[in-house]
Amino acid sequence: MTDKPEVDWQKSSFSSADGNTSCVELARDSDGELHMRESEHPTQTLHPSQPAVTTLLTSIKAGALDHLA
């Protein structure tokens, strides 16, 4: 699980609003594979499926994971 240098990492514009730079970043490589990493550990990446990321983001937006905060 290593970072691919050719991907363009993206993070939420809300991630640094309070000065906290810790966030989850997403990227898609030239082959279409998704990559996910924690900004505090950028050399460790996950490769989730598109349906898994969609489910995660839908759950976050709906507040379904708020009890974990």
Q: Which residue carries 């708020």 as its tokens?
A: 66
Please tell me the predicted confidence (pLDDT) of residue 20: 62
Q: Compute the distance between CA of residue 60 and CA of residue 52 in angstroms, rounded to an integer.
A: 12
Question: Which amino acid appears at position 3 of this protein?
Answer: D
* 1 pLDDT more than 60: no
Q: Which residue carries 């993206």 as its tokens?
A: 10
Which one-letter DSSP state was computed for residue 66? G
Question: Which amino acid appears at position 63 of this protein?
Answer: G
Strand order in the sheet with 45-46: 24-28, 34-38, 45-46
Please tell me the predicted confidence (pLDDT) of residue 55: 96
What would the pLDDT profile of 2-57 be if each residue is shown by its tens digit?
554 578 999 877 676 565 667 889 999 999 999 999 988 889 999 999 999 999 99
